[in-house]
Amino acid sequence: MASHRRPKQTGPRCNGVLTVTAAAAVALSTQTASADPLPDPNKKGVQAQIDRLYEQATQATEKYNGAGEKAETLKKQVAALQDAAARKQGELNELRDRIGTVAAGQYRAGGLDPALQLFLSGDPDTYLESASALDRAGDRQSAVLRQFLSQQRALRQQRTEASEKLRDLDEVQTELGRRKGEIQGKLREAQRLLNTLTAEERARIAEAEDRANRASSRVDLGDETSASSRAAAAFAAAKSRVGLPYVWGASGPASFDCSGLTSWAFRQADVSIPRTSQAQANIGTRIDSLGALRPGDLVLMRTDLSHVGFYAGNGQILHSPKPGAQVRYESIARSGMPFMWGVRVG
């Protein structure tokens, strides 16, 4: 079978506030079979702790992404409600002006209808709630006044909904801050543990990670084809990102977390999918057998569905695996994460 060599891609690095600290670039490889053993058994324990912290950080990142997606949805809903309320207020103002014009004409003619007089008083809304008051107006005036009342009720409802959405948004933004602190705490603790290792041990870990990245450029993907043109386009976009860094909360184009890579790649194929791995697990057609996957299908990993990547062919996954790592190909069997199911999109 022919060997498909994947040249290492280079690209700009993300320098935003969500970038993992530079020291995390010596993150441990999840493929323990390829890593050199540390001589001290206690150091192996440190290795395992760091791996676990990175796993917890990526799990927290998916929750952060979910809160972020919800916040964006709420922002759009609030903006739409506020825009609708502004339009409704404009319509009310026009109706009020029409009623005022009628009242002014009646006044100049020598008499003002009691119904209009009450409407123009200090508390017109309370007045309009009274059906008997509307009955005192003429048919034409009553229709206008009833229209005003209907518009007024709709405006109140929109403003109430907007206020509720704003409260929801405030809660979600608080959650975002909490998740961010959780992730940063995990990464700080991982860095602290890394600092307990000697320079030689850290160099050995960095070399293991570098080997995993180099192996990605030599992976044999076989000759399988994608199940659809959209999946093929998304997979091609993801392949163009090989070599770019994992950054928590990032969704491209220069850095990615796991679901950031998959959602970005499908956007390049003009397909909109949810932002988080847990949500991506429930779209498209579910595929329970690893052997039935085709290149471009989503691969859901871990029992909590906190990791996702693309099936790349020949038992390989293309993914953004963890803090400190790069977008790369890896064997699903050796990834250290259990396969749950696949999803075929498009």
Catalytic residues, by residue number, are: 258, 307, 319
Instruction: Give the orientation angle of helix 229-239 with respect to helix 258-268, to 10 degrees.
Output: 120
How far apart are the C-alpha atoms of 56 and 304, rounded to whole Å?
A: 11
Place of tokens 């506030």: 17
Work out the angle at residue 325's Cα, subtended by the Cα atoms of residues 23 and 303, and round it to the nearest 5 degrees. Answer: 120
CB-based contacts of 194: which residues, under 8 Å, 6+ apart?
23, 26, 50, 202, 205
Using the 8-state DSSP alphabet, how is residue 128 labeled? H
CB atoms within 10 A of CB 253: 16
Position 185: which residue type? Answer: G
How far apart are the C-alpha atoms of 89 and 86, rounded to whole Å?
A: 5
Sign of CA dihedral 72, 69, 267, 321: positive
Q: Which residues pair with 286 in a beta bridge?
A: 343
Paired tokens of 295 = 């290149």
Position 118: which residue type? Answer: L
CB atoms within 10 A of CB 72: 13
At residue 307, the 3 state secondary structure works out as strand
Nearest Cα residue to 42 out of 191, 201, 200: 201
End-to-end CA distance of the chain: 29
Nearest Cα residue to 346 out of 302, 272, 295, 284: 284
Polymer length of the chain: 346
Place of tokens 């397909």: 271
